[in-house]
Structure 1
Amino acid sequence: MLTKLNFPRLYRLYRLLDAGRLRALARRSEMGMVFAGIAVGVTSGLAVTGMSLLSRELHRLIFGISDIERLSSSQTNDKFLLLMAPVCGGMLLGLLFFILARTRKKPMVDPIEANALHGGRLSLTDSIIVAVQNLVSNGFGASVGLEAGYVQLAAGIASKLGLKLQLRRADLRVLVGCGAAGAIAAAFNAPLTGAFYAFELIIGTYTIVSLTPVVVSALVSTLVARLLAGSDFMIDVGAFGTVVPADYIPALLLGAFCAGVGILIMQGVAFIEELARKSSVPTPLRPALGGIVVGLLAMITPQVLSAGHGALHLNLGRDVAVPVLVGLLLLKSFASAISIGSGFRGGLFFASLFMGALLGKLFAYCAPYFAHATLTPVIYAVVGMSSLAVAVIGGPLTMTFLALEITGDFPITALVLAAVITSSLVVRNTFGYSFATWRFHLRGESIRSAHDVGWIRNLTVDKLMRSDVKTAKVSITIDDFKKAFPIGSRQRVILVDDSDKYAGIVLVPEIYASPVDTDDEGKDLKDFIRYRNDFLQPQMNAKQAAAIFDKTESEALAVLNNLIERRVVGQLSESYTLRRYSEELDRRRREVSGEI
């Protein structure tokens, strides 16, 4: 029961928790961002733990496995169940697609796209929908991981918090990175991995300003997940001696080999998605058809189901024949491609780790051909795991720290670093995309990372141009032109034809510098017209406009509404465009460095 003595304390607490004060603290103080990172870390840990427990409960209820079993390592003998579970999941997912197609018209945005184009703005509702779809896909056995749902949900919560606090664009992007860092850290019990996942893949850059909130979020999220669910994702590499210089040669070759396999996997997924789009099968029915294929593959071996946590540990700890490894690798890659290509929600994060481990163990059979090499098959599996993951997901330091945190061995980490750098270099120079950015490319987007390019797209010609421009008919004589535009009145005049379509630009000083007789009424302006087919459009951004100025060597150009009507709606100069572009660029640099 409240007494009079309680009210002053409650009032002080209310003032402390007042939304306006929290907003001011987060906007004006670096400590405010740290507190926001802590809050995001707690919510990320809760979100990851909740989704993980729900997924395992679905596996238990649907496939009848025990609480301690993993689906991909279970000994399920009911072939009909293995076939029908992914089909039923596909039907349920198709029903969700059918409902969403009639209720939500805007495409869903993931954290990379949000940070690259929208300043960190994510819809929490869309994030929850994606997480539910991911749970349905994984829970019914589709060959996808939960990491995409983890990151989407945690980043969506972080974005919602940042919007409530009215954070600046740069701070909101960092807070979204905090959510992603917390999600990956909690999923793998690996705070360094989560932090560098945020830096390399979600924020797109590393700065001192963003270091503390991101790392704090990853640490807090890891602690929350450990307290609630514990962690069993560790790899025992056993005793193998010391890493010698000769071990780096097979590691580098394995990295290059994984890069090639990763490119094939990404192109395979894209091929199946394109095949599904070109088919006459309605979108809501595609997951069910994909579920049939996944179910048939699961009848061969349940190891293709779900993300593959159990299968990874199952194959790391025992000797497996080469034909079995090759068959399992082909089945898992095909199941993952079919799952994603047919519409199941999820990602390739853990699937790439599992397939990379299989590649590493296959490569270990070639180890005797490398003189003086001392590595064991388990170490090759760890190197392959990180190398394939960096080829598909990206983030060399992310995958290097993942190897460190799941093995606890520094010499192996040095090998992994050499391999993942090789893999990343090969992919960038031969393919140029990670899985996420490759999908953006297929959609027509030009982004290749989470670097903030949205402000460039927002700085459009429509916002920069002058709309109060005067035009003249192209048919008037030079004498009439001089009467309408005395020397010194303006530098250039835009000409239009009789139907008000753009015809070009005339430089006024050139008219007065011409030796043409001013009393000659028969002369017109055609000999003075420039830039007949060079112009800007309102939707172009400042960077595109600057490129056109440079190409045409013009100081100013007309802005037309579109290519068909060719109506003049404004005029833009090169000097103003470059000045505004430089100002915005400097502003973003100062935001990143923490100067504003």
Structure 2
Amino acid sequence: MSARIARRLNRERPPAGSYLVRLITRPSRGAVTFRQWVRRGEIGIVGLALLSGAAAGLLALLMSEATHGLHVALFGAGAQYGLSLLEDADPRLLLALPALGGLLLGLLNWGIARRGLRTPIDPIEANALHGGRMRLSDGAVVAAQNIVSNGFGASVGLEAAFAQVGSSFASRLGGAFGLRRGDLRVLVGCGTAGALAAAFCAPITGAFYAFELVVSTYSIASLAPVMASAVAGMLLASALGRTAVLAGAGSFAAPTLGDYALALLLGLLCGLLAIALMKGMTLVEALLRRAVPWGWLRPVAGGLAVGGLALLSTGVLSAGHGVLHLALASDLTLPLLLGLLVLKTAGTAISIGSGFRGGLFFASLLLGALFGKLFAIAGVTLLPPAMMPTTVDPMLYAVIGTSAFGAAVVGAPLALTFLALEGTRDFAVAGPVLVAVIAATMVVRRLFGYSFATWRFHLRGETIRSAHDIGWLRDLTVGRLMRRDVTTVPLGVSLAVIRRTYPLGATQRLIVVDDANRYAGLLLLPEVHAAGPVFDTIDPLVRLRQRALLPAMNAKEAMALFEDAETEAMAVVDGVQTLRVLGMLTEAHLLRRYGEEVDKRRRDEVGIP
């Protein structure tokens, strides 16, 4: 008997090598078995993460090259070293091309709306509300919008498209293997990590960007797949000749106590400037909505404005990679830094506010570098020597400003700190960068309360503040939890009839309806049997006449109504006007199911199967 049981267990749990044999000899059954093995094992998830990271990195680099090719084709050979460093350009091209890009983008958006396609779901929203489920078509739409916006010179970056395409691919890959909700959310973060790691050749930056913004938590279980994905993206980028974005900053001396004090002040100012930038974009959008009622024409107006700024300085065009390297690798004068800072801030606010698609990730890095260098030079020039450290390195403050302003806008303080370390490969910047990043993020959190990503959700009416999974709560509705087998009785029926029809123990509660079969209240059967001869009908005993649940309410909303009504059960009706009874929900069942779901999410976060 024991030998038979052992053979049966061996058949149910085949050795790892048999998966490959089965896949070759019986492809259909082998594919199913391999899919099950991937779903059940941590090694399988890491394998999918590696594939997601490499694919996301490749897609990010392809989009980057496509945009660069568009720059050269439209603006001429002078754009090959960076559109923001373009010299001796034809003023007509500078003015017309961003507007033409706005027209193409408007027509593209109009065509998407005509086809009835939904608004693309970005990785943060997907993980917060949809359990990591994304569509490849969303990635294609966002990629096309970003390439047109950036390629024609709008002052936006491509990082939003990188993250969208990488996470969409990862989500579809995870869906093909039937990953569980928690694993799928982590894999979406893997796609984002691989794309950002490839874009900046910084694996730790990409990984912590995913942890802080897309996965919204850090755990040992998610560490291996996210890190593996980021390394895969970085290795692919390095093999194709990609370099770190802050490589031109050089090395720095050990910071003094005065440097830490100035870094704190710089971080506070970066936080205030970041708030001004995000509010400025909202203001521009509101003004354009009033001035240009046709949505597809607003990017044209924004493109004309950006083109006008480009006549003053081409540094406002595109993401600004060339200007960032110029700011880090050379000495710029105070008026030039101030002019670039003002123009780039205005160009970015106009581009995003008018409807151009793109992220603020790279724009925030550039603005931070310009502001940090401006801060250092202005301090040396304007402040008394007693208030400044013995030596002030403008390059150091450019790097500090890059991380501080980026953290204030993007909302990923650790990712931006690691970007400074990986970009410069100099640990001397770690202390001042951390001080500035902490100060900047605290200013934004206390005075504004949103990062750029969550601010966009707020403007759309969403309540999410991060990618923390609350979609399960929205799915846990009263309609899913209620009992449909309920008993109804008419209003005005006599107590004697109820006592004869429903003896004690037959049920606990009865739902009362009126002559039009609409909800009229709740009746407790023990109270009916305990009532004396004072009452003839059930009407005086009817409770909760104006209290009922709706099927679309989530668990938290229902719990609040239970607490306010001080009852243990409530009827569920289809609407406040029709009041047709659908079922009943008890508070005990609601709390039990809510507790089970909370426990399941906590297990997913810490990696407990």
TM-score range normalised by the length of the shorter chain: over 0.9
Secondary structure at 2:81 match in 1: coil
Please tell me whether residue 591 in structure 1 is matched to residue 604 in structure 2: yes
Task: State how far apart, in whole Å, the 2-side matches of 1:476 and 1:11 are.
Answer: 69
What pairs up with 1:148-297 in 2 under 5 angstroms?
148-231=160-243, 233-238=245-250, 240-278=252-290, 281-297=293-309
Instruction: Quickly say closer, same or farther: Cα 1:437–1:486, change in 2 above 3 A.
Output: same
TM-score normalised over the length of structure 1: 0.93
- Asked if structure 2 preserves the Cα contact closer than 8 Å seen for 1:560 and 1:567, the reply is yes
Task: State how far apart, in whole Å, the 2-side matches of 1:273 and 1:568 are.
Answer: 45
Task: State how far apart, in whole Å, the 2-side matches of 1:119 and 1:278 are.
Answer: 37
1:248-302 superposed Cα distances (whole Å, 9 cap, x missing partner): 2221121121111111211222233334445552222221121111111111111
- Asked if structure 2 preserves the Cα contact closer than 8 Å seen for 1:240 and 1:375, the reply is no
Question: Which of 545, 558, 566 is the matching residue for 2:558?
Answer: 545
Instruction: Quickly say closer, same or farther: Cα 1:428–1:49, change in 2 above 3 A.
Output: same
1:288-340 superposed Cα distances (whole Å, 9 cap, x missing partner): 12111111111111100000111112223334344433332222122112111
1:399-440 superposed Cα distances (whole Å, 9 cap, x missing partner): 000011111121212211121122112222222211111111
Offset of residue 568 of structure 1: 1.6
What pairs up with 1:98-113 in 2 under 5 angstroms?
98-113=110-125
Offset of residue 42 of structure 1: 1.6
- Asked if structure 1 preserves the Cα contact closer than 8 Å seen for 2:214 and 2:467, the reply is yes
Secondary structure at 1:173 match in 2: helix
Amino acid at match of 2:580: R
Task: State how far apart, in whole Å, the 1-side matches of 2:96 and 2:26 are.
Answer: 56
Offset of residue 124 of structure 1: 0.3
Instruction: Quickly say closer, same or farther: Cα 1:97–1:525, change in 2 above 3 A.
Output: same
Amino acid at match of 1:32: G
Offset of residue 12 of structure 1: 6.7
Offset of residue 444 of structure 1: 1.5
1:532-563 superposed Cα distances (whole Å, 9 cap, x missing partner): 33221111111221222222221111111112
Tell me the C-alpha RMSD between the 2 structures: 2.2
* Greater alpha carbon shift after TM alignment, 304-313 vs 102-111: 102-111
Question: Which of 129, 147, 158 is the matching residue for 1:135?
Answer: 147
2:4 equivalent in structure 1: none
Task: State how far apart, in whole Å, the 2-side matches of 1:546 and 1:31 are.
Answer: 40
Amino acid at match of 1:52: S
Question: Which of 542, 558, 561 is the matching residue for 2:571?
Answer: 558
Task: State how far apart, in whole Å, the 1-side matches of 2:115 and 2:604 are.
Answer: 37
Please tell me whether residue 87 in structure 1 is matched to residue 104 in structure 2: no
Question: Which of 399, 405, 409 is the matching residue for 2:416?
Answer: 399
2:514 equivalent in structure 1: 497
2:69 equivalent in structure 1: 57
Task: State how far apart, in whole Å, the 1-side matches of 2:594 and 2:143 are.
Answer: 38
Offset of residue 68 of structure 1: 4.3
- Asked if structure 2 preserves the Cα contact closer than 8 Å seen for 1:243 and 1:375, the reply is no
Offset of residue 373 of structure 1: 6.2
Amino acid at match of 2:419: L
1:386 equivalent in structure 2: 403
Amino acid at match of 1:504: G
Task: State how far apart, in whole Å, the 1-side matches of 2:315 and 2:277 are.
Answer: 18
Task: State how far apart, in whole Å, the 1-side matches of 2:527 and 2:77 are.
Answer: 85
Please tell me whether residue 567 in structure 1 is matched to residue 584 in structure 2: no
1:134-168 superposed Cα distances (whole Å, 9 cap, x missing partner): 11110100110010111111111111111111111
Amino acid at match of 2:421: L
Please tell me whether residue 509 in structure 1 is matched to residue 523 in structure 2: no
Instruction: Quickly say closer, same or farther: Cα 1:488–1:257, change in 2 above 3 A.
Output: same
2:321 equivalent in structure 1: 309
Task: State how far apart, in whole Å, the 2-side matches of 1:190 and 1:451 are.
Answer: 25
Secondary structure at 2:95 match in 1: helix
Secondary structure at 2:411 match in 1: coil
Secondary structure at 1:366 match in 2: helix
2:589 equivalent in structure 1: 576
- Asked if structure 2 preserves the Cα contact closer than 8 Å seen for 1:65 and 1:71, the reply is no
Instruction: Quickly say closer, same or farther: Cα 1:256–1:484, change in 2 above 3 A.
Output: farther
1:26 equivalent in structure 2: 38
Task: State how far apart, in whole Å, the 1-side matches of 2:320 and 2:33 are.
Answer: 46
Amino acid at match of 2:109: F
Instruction: Quickly say closer, same or farther: Cα 1:508–1:84, change in 2 above 3 A.
Output: same
* Greater alpha carbon shift after TM alignment, 71-80 vs 315-324: 315-324
Instruction: Quickly say closer, same or farther: Cα 1:514–1:77, change in 2 above 3 A.
Output: same
1:343 equivalent in structure 2: 355
Count of residue pairs brought into register by the alignment = 584
Secondary structure at 1:119 match in 2: coil
Amino acid at match of 1:93: L
Instruction: Quickly say closer, same or farther: Cα 1:22–1:272, change in 2 above 3 A.
Output: farther
Amino acid at match of 2:568: E
Instruction: Quickly say closer, same or farther: Cα 1:252–1:216, change in 2 above 3 A.
Output: same
Amino acid at match of 2:490: K
- Asked if structure 1 preserves the Cα contact closer than 8 Å seen for 2:486 and 2:584, the reply is yes
Task: State how far apart, in whole Å, the 2-side matches of 1:59 and 1:47 are.
Answer: 18
1:158-210 superposed Cα distances (whole Å, 9 cap, x missing partner): 11111111111111111111110001000001000000011111111111111
Amino acid at match of 2:478: V
Amino acid at match of 1:593: V
Task: State how far apart, in whole Å, the 2-side matches of 1:386 and 1:401 are.
Answer: 9
Question: Which of 421, 444, 452 is the matching residue for 1:427?
Answer: 444
Percent pairwise identity:
49
Instruction: Quickly say closer, same or farther: Cα 1:124–1:238, change in 2 above 3 A.
Output: closer
- Asked if structure 1 preserves the Cα contact closer than 8 Å seen for 2:194 and 2:230, the reply is yes
Task: State how far apart, in whole Å, the 2-side matches of 1:179 and 1:500 are.
Answer: 53
- Asked if structure 1 preserves the Cα contact closer than 8 Å seen for 2:120 and 2:141, the reply is no
Task: State how far apart, in whole Å, the 1-side matches of 2:179 and 2:280 are.
Answer: 40
1:3 equivalent in structure 2: none
Question: Which of 57, 67, 84 is the matching residue for 1:72?
Answer: 84
Task: State how far apart, in whole Å, the 2-side matches of 1:586 and 1:101 are.
Answer: 40
1:441 equivalent in structure 2: 458
Unaligned runs of 5+ in 2: 1-19
Instruction: Quickly say closer, same or farther: Cα 1:404–1:509, change in 2 above 3 A.
Output: same
Please tell me whether residue 408 in structure 1 is matched to residue 425 in structure 2: yes
Task: State how far apart, in whole Å, the 1-side matches of 2:201 and 2:26 are.
Answer: 36
- Asked if structure 2 preserves the Cα contact closer than 8 Å seen for 1:247 and 1:374, the reply is no
- Asked if structure 1 preserves the Cα contact closer than 8 Å seen for 2:71 and 2:79, the reply is no
Task: State how far apart, in whole Å, the 2-side matches of 1:533 and 1:275 are.
Answer: 45
Please tell me whether residue 530 in structure 1 is matched to residue 543 in structure 2: yes
Offset of residue 447 of structure 1: 0.9
- Asked if structure 2 preserves the Cα contact closer than 8 Å seen for 1:240 and 1:374, the reply is no
- Asked if structure 2 preserves the Cα contact closer than 8 Å seen for 1:19 and 1:165, the reply is no
1:95-128 superposed Cα distances (whole Å, 9 cap, x missing partner): 2112111113322101111111111111101211
* Greater alpha carbon shift after TM alignment, 549-558 vs 121-130: 549-558
Task: State how far apart, in whole Å, the 2-side matches of 1:264 and 1:122 are.
Answer: 32
Offset of residue 65 of structure 1: 2.9
Task: State how far apart, in whole Å, the 2-side matches of 1:215 and 1:55 are.
Answer: 28
2:158 equivalent in structure 1: 146
Unaligned runs of 5+ in 1: 1-8
Task: State how far apart, in whole Å, the 2-side matches of 1:69 and 1:118 are.
Answer: 41
